[in-house]
Amino acid sequence: MIQLPLSKLSNVGTTIFSQMTQLANENEAINLSQGFPDFTPDSELLDHVDHFIKKGFNQYAPMGGMIGLKEEIARKIENSHQAIYHPDSEITVTAGGTQAIFTAIATFVKKDDEVIIFEPAYDCYEPTVELFGGIVKRFEMKAPDYEIDWSTVKNLVSDKTKMIILNNPNNPSGKILKENDIQELIKIVEGTSILILSDEVYENIVFDGKQHLSICKYPELKERSLLVASFGKLFHVTGWKIGYCAAPKSLTDEFRKVHQFNVFSVNTPIQLALAEYMKNPDHYNHLNQFFQEKRDFLRKGLANTSFELLDCEGTYFQALKYDKISDKNDFDFASELTINHKVASVPFSSFYKNKLNENVIRLCFAKKQETLERAIENLSKI
């Protein structure tokens, strides 16, 4: 028996999304935990994939991605945010948002570099920073408003701060950054070399006519930012694992040095299919409305229950406070809900390093009407 080397991530287990999905499956519960749609993507997109596979586009794509897709991405960013990225030298197609985030951190974070994150935080940020010897500094956003106190954030900045990671719209809270947040951020990074990694995978899912403020809208931020987005969220194909990273050439050059050894390149026929499909912006411009209807349906259905519905400005997640129902911690409550009431959710404490429990769970509403109806029925009995 060999002696196992010390774990590089001794505090990390299986992600909460896999855990809750497994619990949902074991208990035949309605799975509103892991964020993925349970409806089929547009058949037009599927037909494009079929077409390109059969036409013989089945070998390696260029390392940074197929030029046609990168051009469509550049066009989308320009139309949505009036920001220009050069398709060939500033956009890299990645194997999903998580790989783009991993590669960005791997590229820039060295031992003892400090990285600021905002909690509740998506689960991959912290372990990835630690894997490369970085130190995470966290600001805890709290229920019910999940506001950022920028003067506290400013105190987290030191001469070792290498990167700030943003997630806008925020998974799991559904909060979006406002103009004043961005202006405060600009003041904090002005005159420093701090990089920004902006995870905007839910950028096209923002409600009530509110505006998604992408990092790339602001030249002072764009020059230091790596912007990450995901086609899984945009076109209901999370299993395709494809996304991209847009960043100025100097940052992209470095990013690609790692990317080429991390994945080299991404699925060719799917890149071609996405490029074709993106030519029609209606394919993603309706998304806000599409998901707003689902959000509203879920909120209306739960309005008369004892759950408190927190604000949901974006993403396909609804946060529920349950303290009128139970004083169990959120992990135990979410497990009980899955086992006894057949609805799986994700406890918010898993998005905090210190497992902050504020009795809040997350439900994913990227689901068919019928799935949402069944979940509402079960939750209404509590």
Which residues would be at the binding site for ligand GLN (CB under 6 A)? 15, 17, 34-35, 171
Q: How far is the CB of 338 from ligand GLN (least distance, A)?
A: 15
Nearer to ligand GLN among residue 15 and residue 329 (C-beta): 15
Question: Distance (Å, rounded) from C-alpha 88 to C-alpha 287?
Answer: 27
Tell me the residue nearest to ligand GLN as measured from the CB: 35
Written as one string, the DSSP assignment of 114-142 is EEEEEES--TTHHHHHHHTT-EEEEEE--
Rounded least distance, CB 248 to ligand GLN, Å: 27
**Residue 178, CA atoms < 13 Å, CB-side half-sphere:** 9
CB of 45 to ligand GLN, least distance (A): 20
Dihedral angle sign, alpha carbons of residues 293, 298, 301, 305: negative
Q: Rounded to an integer, what is the distance from CA 262 to the centroid of its chain?
A: 20
Q: Which amino acid is at 324?
A: K
Q: How far is the CB of 354 from ligand GLN (least distance, A)?
A: 20
**Smaller CB separation from ligand GLN, 103 or 268:** 103
- Judge residue 305's burial from the number of C-beta atoms within 10 Å of its C-beta, 0-12 exposed, 13-18 middle, 19 or more buried: middle
Q: Which two tokens stand for residue 280?
A: 């029609």
Q: Looking at beta carbons only, is 46 or 124 nearer to ligand GLN?
A: 124
Give the Cα separation of 243 and 228 in Å (integer): 7
Rounded to the nearest 5 percent, the helix, strand and coil shares of the chain are 45, 15, 40
101 near 197, Cβ under 8 Å? Answer: yes
Nearer to ligand GLN among residue 99 and residue 171 (C-beta): 171
Name which of 115 and 346 has its Cβ closer to ligand GLN.
346
CB of 315 to ligand GLN, least distance (A): 9
Select 25 or 152, whichever has its Cβ closest to ligand GLN.
Answer: 25
Query: Rg of the chain over CA atoms, in angstroms?
Result: 21
**31: its two tokens:** 């799975």
Nearer to ligand GLN, 161 or 349 (CB): 349
368 backbone φψ class: left, alpha, beta (φ>0; ψ -120 to 50): beta
CA distance 21 to 26: 9
CB 304, min distance to ligand GLN, A: 27
What is the smallest separation between the CB atom of 145 and ligand GLN, expressed in angstroms?
Answer: 21
**CB of residue 249 to ligand GLN, shortest distance in Å:** 29
CB of 284 to ligand GLN, least distance (A): 18
For ligand GLN, give the closer residue by CB, 128 or 252: 128
What DSSP string runs through 198-234?
A: EE-TTTT-B-TTPPP--GGGSHHHHTTEEEEEEHHHH
Of 202 and 307, CB closest to ligand GLN: 202
